Chains A and B, each alone.
Chain A
């Protein structure tokens, strides 16, 4: 097992490991619909996206899933206490999503060592898709 991250290893501004995802493709959107239960055809039927005038777009929650993946690649799930995101942009098939984040605040109170980190998912054009923050209590 890899060495777990520790509060004392981090400083304000420390960056979490960057996650670069494989391009989002149609099959991934079909799989995500089936897994999550979100069958809005906007995500899986290009004709619907075209009819609505915005084109086929990914589920926002899929991108939040990428954010969750990036965080728990860096900080074990058991330390994650809060994750909050705002959906800022639309993700399309072919987009390459990169998730980055860094420590905004370190709080040590009442024996708890907490980090607050800003996190963002961007596409290959550097457009923000999802932005938010998470809190984790570390050893």
Chain B
């Protein structure tokens, strides 16, 4: 159930090591053949330090670290009734293989809505990622809907 008092709640930071192979796995699964994500020479030639993480790479730490499920359990959300509504990424710096990211998740919105499909809770989560130099690299905002 939507608990407005949970807005602002912060979760303990989590770590994620960026691996070249994971960047490649993700673009291969997407079918994105852009060489900059997999070929270091092509990437450097295009002005990157190394093969940058692709635009939606940051979904990997969210899923593989189970941080999303930490939240779902904490808020007693029925995951079977959850739909992914929106996703927003703000890019501050490139993410490269060898980087160690620290993610800090917080709840930034929680509201109840009634629509023609019934009642629903709308939850917004923000994860701010910084790298090993403590520089912000990416902010991810996820909106999920729990149908009632």
Contact = CB atoms under 8 A, between A and B. Distances in A.
A80 B22 CA distance: 21
Interface residues of A, number: 34
B52 to A, nearest CB: 5
Interface in A53-84: 60-62, 64-69, 71-73, 76-78, 80-84
B12 to A, nearest CB: 19
Nearest to A134: B55
A85 interface: yes
Contact of B91 (A31, A65, A80): A80
A65 B56 contact: yes
A46 B36 CA distance: 35
A21 interface: yes
Given A34-B25, A36-B26, A69-B30, A82 B90 contact: yes
B121 interface: no
Nearest to B54: A68
Given A64-B56, A85-B87, A37 B30 contact: no
Nearest to B61: A37
A108 interface: no
Interface residues of B, number: 35
Given A35-B29, A37-B60, A87-B83, A76 B47 contact: yes
Given A37-B63, A60-B84, A78-B47, A83 B31 contact: no
Contact of B25 (A35, A38, A86): A35
Contact of A81 (B32, B84, B91): B91
Q: Which of A1, A37, A67, A84 has the most CB of B within 10 A?
A: A37
Given A1-B46, A21-B31, A35 B26 contact: yes
A124 interface: no
Contacts of B90: 81-82
A94 to B, nearest CB: 15
A71 B89 CA distance: 14
Interface of A: 1, 21-22, 28, 31-32, 34-38, 60-62, 64-69, 71-73, 76-78, 80-87
